[in-house]
């Protein structure tokens, strides 16, 4: 029996029931782009950790049992996309998963979720930063925000005043670590937020958009999901970055219109039909 008649992406991350982030957004976004999304949960949460309280069940101990069943089925993936990883053990499992399931045609996308606004997320250690550097060496595409790009390249973070030559040096340093395609998101430029993309050794361009509203949860997951799916669908990388940026902006505008709390993420469901 052939289970590989359709393009598939394995998406590794946490399953968060409320708050629109990680697998909760990746599954519908990737599915909308006509790719079967196969989730691999690293943890199960009632809601994300920015809420006052939440239930968390660590799924690490079940990772190998879960993915070994896919081996029995002979599953092959057009893409593998990894998001938030919460322990050194998970990094080891994900690395093995990539090595076991990767084929010559598999595109590896790593969203190195480690921090934002100049600070690492709670619980991330220096050892985990080192593990992330090792993981991105296996990637074809990475999508760090500015904070994560600074962490990966040991570059001091600053809230403003980024010059093109500094960004150029940082993104080229990331390129030397392995991935051939990179987009650094969330670069502040006055009243604008910019993304810088890199492909095949060349700086592609900065895409800029006016700042709108406050930062919302899950936007990075939506952005990376579009990038991962577009790569499997053969969409040129620079075009994919623009598409993902425009879609995230549309999601934010709709969420502001609906007056959703920041913690509730973005109302991507309301605008999903714009994603083609």
Q: Is residue 108 part of a domain?
A: yes
Q: Is residue 2 part of a domain?
A: no
Residue 203 is predicted with a pLDDT of 84
Tell me if 241 sits within 8 A of 207, measured CB to CB: yes
- Of 202 and 79, the structure prediction assigns the larger pLDDT to 79
Residue 189 has pLDDT above 90, yes or no: no
Q: Is residue 256 part of a domain?
A: yes
Residue 104 is predicted with a pLDDT of 94
Q: Is residue 1 part of a domain?
A: no
Tell me if 79 sits within 8 A of 50, measured CB to CB: no
Tell me if 15 sits within 8 A of 39, measured CB to CB: yes
Q: Give the DSSP H or E segment for 39.
A: strand 36-47
Q: Is residue 111 part of a domain?
A: yes
Q: Which of 90, 80, 85, 104 is nearest to 225 (CA)?
A: 80
State which residues form the domain around 98: 8-267
Tell me if 192 sits within 8 A of 212, measured CB to CB: no
Residue 27 has pLDDT above 80, yes or no: yes
- Tell me the C-alpha distance between 244 and 226, whole Å: 6
Residue 103, CA distances (Å) to 30, 64, 78 in order? 20, 19, 8
Residues 32, 37, 42, 46: is their CA dihedral positive or negative? Answer: positive
* % pLDDT > 70, the chain: 99
- Tell me the C-alpha distance between 180 and 145, whole Å: 17
Q: Provide CB contacts within 8 A for 257, sequence distance 6+.
A: none
How many Cβ atoms from other residues are within 10 Å of residue 273's Cβ? 8
Please, what is the average pLDDT of the chain? 94
Report the domain count for the chain: 1
Residue 161 has pLDDT above 90, yes or no: no
* CATH assignment of the domain containing 60: 3.40.1190.20
SS3 110: strand
- Quote the strand ranges of 56-112, DSSP E: 56-58, 79-82, 107-110
Q: Is residue 3 part of a domain?
A: no
Give the mean model confidence (pLDDT) for residues 180-209.
86
Residue 71 has pLDDT above 80, yes or no: yes
- Confidence band for 213, pLDDT divided at 50, 70 and 90: low
Residue 124 is predicted with a pLDDT of 87
- Confidence band for 1, pLDDT divided at 50, 70 and 90: confident
């Amino acid at each position: 029996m052939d289970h590989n008649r359709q393009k598939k992406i394995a998406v590794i991350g946490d399953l968060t029931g409320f708050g629109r982030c990680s697998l909760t957004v990746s599954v519908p976004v990737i599915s909308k782009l006509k790719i079967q999304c196969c989730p691999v949960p690293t943890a199960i949460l009632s809601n994300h950790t920015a809420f006052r309280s939440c239930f968390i069940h660590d799924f690490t101990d079940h990772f190998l049992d879960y993915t070994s069943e896919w081996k029995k089925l002979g599953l092959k993936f057009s893409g593998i996309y990894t998001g938030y990883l919460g322990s050194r053990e998970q990094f080891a499992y994900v690395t093995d998963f990539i090595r076991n399931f990767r084929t010559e045609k598999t595109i590896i996308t790593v969203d190195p979720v480690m921090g934002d606004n100049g600070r690492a997320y709670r619980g991330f250690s220096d050892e985990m930063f080192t593990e992330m550097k090792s993981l991105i060496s296996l990637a074809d595409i990475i999508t760090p925000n500015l904070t994560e790009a600074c962490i990966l390249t040991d570059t001091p973070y600053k809230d403003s005043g980024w010059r093109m030559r500094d960004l150029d040096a940082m993104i080229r340093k990331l390129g030397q670590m392995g991935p051939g395609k990179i987009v650094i998101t969330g670069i502040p430029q006055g009243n604008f937020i910019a993304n810088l993309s890199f492909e095949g050794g060349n700086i592609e361009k900065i895409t800029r958009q006016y700042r709108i509203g406050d930062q919302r949860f899950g936007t990075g997951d939506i952005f990376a999901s579009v990038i991962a799916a577009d790569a499997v669908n053969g969409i040129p990388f620079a075009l994919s970055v623009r598409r993902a940026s425009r879609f995230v902006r549309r999601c934010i505008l709709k969420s502001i219109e609906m007056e959703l709390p920041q913690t509730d993420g973005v109302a991507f469901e309301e605008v999903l039909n714009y994603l083609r």
